[in-house]
């Protein structure tokens, strides 16, 4: 107990000494500033002005960054709405009309000799044509409800025919649903099948060029769901 009291007394004495020395230092600084005011005040004004300008600049920069961030969010939301708005027209098509529409998008983007199968038993080649650089394009079209997913079985069928049966240089699987299952997307990536889900199709419909969508292959933002198992 005695030792504890001594430690407390030492702490109090130390705090008092620090307070006294602090007060002496502050008084000395005040006396020095008063004696040298003609020299000090321009420096003080410069420092305060720089601090004010720096604070104002930081506030403006922060406000600008927040405005840019809000603008990016707003643009992303508007693009997603625009895609969905255009996709409502696509959703109204029959599966035959959907295949014809995909062929029209291919032609719009410079594909040549585009042919629509328009029948069952086409072994996955709903649309066939040639890209502007001469590569053969084979397209599988699946007009599914937006909430559905493309299964690995769907993808397996296309993988088995796109190149072996049709000699595709670029094999494109395009669907109106929001996602490919994890198995389907993994198979597409391994077999170099371009997987266009609803969001990427919406971008294509809104004017994105097919050549710019091919490298995305199943990725993209908007309302796409995470692939299910």
0.75 exceeded by pTM: no
Q: Digits of tens for pLDDT over the chain (229 positions)?
A: 666 666 777 677 777 777 777 677 777 766 766 777 667 667 667 777 777 777 777 777 776 677 667 766 656 555 555 555 578 889 999 999 999 999 999 999 999 999 998 666 667 799 999 999 999 999 999 999 999 999 999 999 999 999 999 999 999 999 999 999 999 999 999 999 999 999 999 989 988 999 999 888 876 433 344 444 4
Of 150, 213, 202, 144, nearest to 179 by C-alpha is 150
Of 207, 208, 200, 204, nearest to 224 by C-alpha is 200
Q: How many Å is the Cα radius of gyration of the chain?
A: 34
**Strand pairing report for 170-175 and 136-142:** parallel
């Amino acid at each position: 107990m005695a030792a504890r009291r001594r430690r407390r007394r030492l702490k109090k004495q130390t705090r008092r000494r620090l307070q006294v020395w602090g007060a002496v230092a502050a008084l000395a600084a005040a006396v020095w500033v008063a004696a040298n005011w003609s020299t000090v005040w321009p420096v003080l004004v410069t420092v305060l002005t720089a601090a004010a300008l720096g604070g104002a600049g930081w506030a403006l920069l922060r406000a600008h960054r927040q405005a840019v961030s809000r603008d990016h969010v707003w643009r992303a939301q508007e693009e997603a709405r625009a895609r969905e708005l255009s996709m409502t027209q696509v959703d109204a098509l029959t599966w035959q009309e959907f295949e014809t529409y995909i062929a029209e998008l291919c032609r719009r983007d410079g594909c040549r000799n585009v042919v629509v199968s328009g029948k069952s038993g086409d072994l996955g080649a709903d649309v066939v044509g040639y890209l502007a650089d001469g590569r053969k394009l084979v397209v599988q079209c699946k007009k599914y409800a937006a909430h559905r997913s493309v299964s690995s079985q769907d993808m397996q069928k296309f993988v088995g025919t796109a190149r072996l049966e049709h000699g595709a240089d670029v094999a494109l699987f395009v669907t109106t649903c929001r996602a490919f299952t994890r198995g389907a997307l993994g198979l597409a990536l391994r077999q170099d099948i371009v997987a266009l889900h609803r969001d990427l199709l919406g971008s294509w419909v809104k004017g994105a060029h097919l050549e710019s969508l091919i490298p995305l292959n199943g990725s993209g933002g908007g309302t796409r769901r995470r692939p299910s198992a």
